């Protein structure tokens, strides 16, 4: 148990982004195993997200309709989902950037630029709200882009907590009527920003240590 907890607290290798390949020269058995691994991870992630949504929805219901048992079950589901997210954050961290940078971001930009005023009135949304979500998506992409690489930096425990908190706040915003300022979205982005600052500080500290070690290293003697 102590070994597992220690492994959770230590930085874990982040899953590298697998570039698209026209031809995969790996053995067939490895290709099939990789396909099952990706499918299994996607299904597990989807089930976890649904469990969080259901748990948050149950807790946000009218108190008169909730029982002690339903509250206990909801909190248990959320706790289990949070542990799963914390434990596997180094594997799904790159997908956060892909989710916001992919079709959602492009669609938001298209709606903001090309749609007429009738679109906003029929969808009960204003152009300002669309612009706000565009800024939010760009901020998320900028703060999580470091996880998208063939050799991404390791995921620290601080990163795990920030990513898990971000997912929970984003899902809470989904079931909460939108109003400005969107505190759940802002708190999730703030958590990502704090983790990003910690990463930059650790990186600069590591570089200063390398420069100091190289400066203190004895000079190589020159032959006669």
pLDDT at 32: 67
In a domain, 107, yes or no: yes
pLDDT at 31: 61
* Predicted confidence (pLDDT) at residue 216 exceeds the cutoff of 50: yes
In a domain, 189, yes or no: yes
pLDDT at 110: 80
Q: What's the whole-number mean pLDDT along residues 210-214?
A: 64
Ramachandran assignment for 111, one of left (phi > 0), alpha (psi -120 to 50 degrees), beta (any other): alpha
In a domain, 77, yes or no: yes
How do residues 98-140 score in pLDDT, each as one tens digit? 887 777 777 888 887 777 766 666 667 777 888 888 888 889 9
In a domain, 29, yes or no: yes
In a domain, 201, yes or no: yes
pLDDT at 20: 47
The total number of structural domains in the chain stands at 1
Write out the chain in H/E/C secondary structure: CHHHHHHHHCCECCCCCCCCCCCCCCCHHHHHHHHHHHHHHHHHHHHHHHHHHHHHHHHCCCHHHCCHHHHHHHHHHHHHHHHHHHHHHHHHHHHHHHHHHCHHHHHHHHHHHHCCHHHHHHCCCCHHHHHHHHHHHHHHHHHHHHHCCCCCCCECHHHHHHHHHHHHHHHHHHCCCCCCCCHHHHHHHHHHHHHHHHHHHHHHHHHHHHHHHHHHCCCCCCCC
* Predicted confidence (pLDDT) at residue 143 exceeds the cutoff of 90: yes
pLDDT at 220: 52
- Mean pLDDT is highest, among 16-20, 65-69, 117-121, 169-173, for 169-173
pLDDT at 22: 46
How do residues 60-71 score in pLDDT, each as one tens digit? 887 777 788 888
In a domain, 7, yes or no: no
Q: Using pLDDT thresholds of 50, 70 and 90, give the confidence band for residue 177.
A: confident
What is the domain range of residue 189? 25-216
In a domain, 15, yes or no: no
pLDDT at 214: 63
Q: What's the whole-number mean pLDDT along residues 163-191?
A: 89
How do residues 186-202 score in pLDDT, each as one tens digit? 999 999 999 999 999 98
In a domain, 12, yes or no: no
């Amino acid at each position: 148990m102590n070994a597992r907890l220690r492994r959770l607290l230590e930085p874990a290798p982040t899953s590298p982004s697998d570039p698209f390949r026209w031809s995969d020269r790996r053995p067939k058995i490895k290709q099939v195993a990789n396909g099952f691994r990706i499918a299994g991870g996607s299904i597990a992630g989807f089930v976890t997200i649904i469990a969080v949504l259901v748990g948050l929805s149950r807790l946000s219901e009218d108190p008169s309709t909730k029982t002690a048992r339903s509250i206990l079950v909801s909190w248990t589901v959320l706790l289990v989902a949070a542990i799963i997210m914390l434990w596997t954050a180094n594997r799904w961290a790159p997908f956060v950037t892909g989710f916001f940078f992919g079709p959602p971001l492009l669609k938001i930009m298209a709606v903001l630029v090309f749609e007429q005023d009738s679109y906003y009135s029929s969808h009960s949304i204003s152009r300002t709200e669309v612009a706000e979500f565009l800024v939010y998506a760009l901020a998320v992409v900028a703060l999580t882009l470091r996880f998208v690489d063939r050799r991404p930096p390791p995921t620290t425990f601080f990163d795990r907590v920030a990513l898990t908190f971000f997912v929970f706040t984003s899902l809470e915003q989904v079931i909460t009527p939108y109003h400005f300022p969107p505190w759940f979205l802002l708190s999730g982005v703030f958590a990502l920003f704090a983790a990003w600052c910690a990463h930059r500080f650790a990186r600069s500290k590591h570089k200063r240590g390398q420069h100091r070690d190289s400066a203190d290293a004895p000079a190589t003697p020159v032959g006669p």
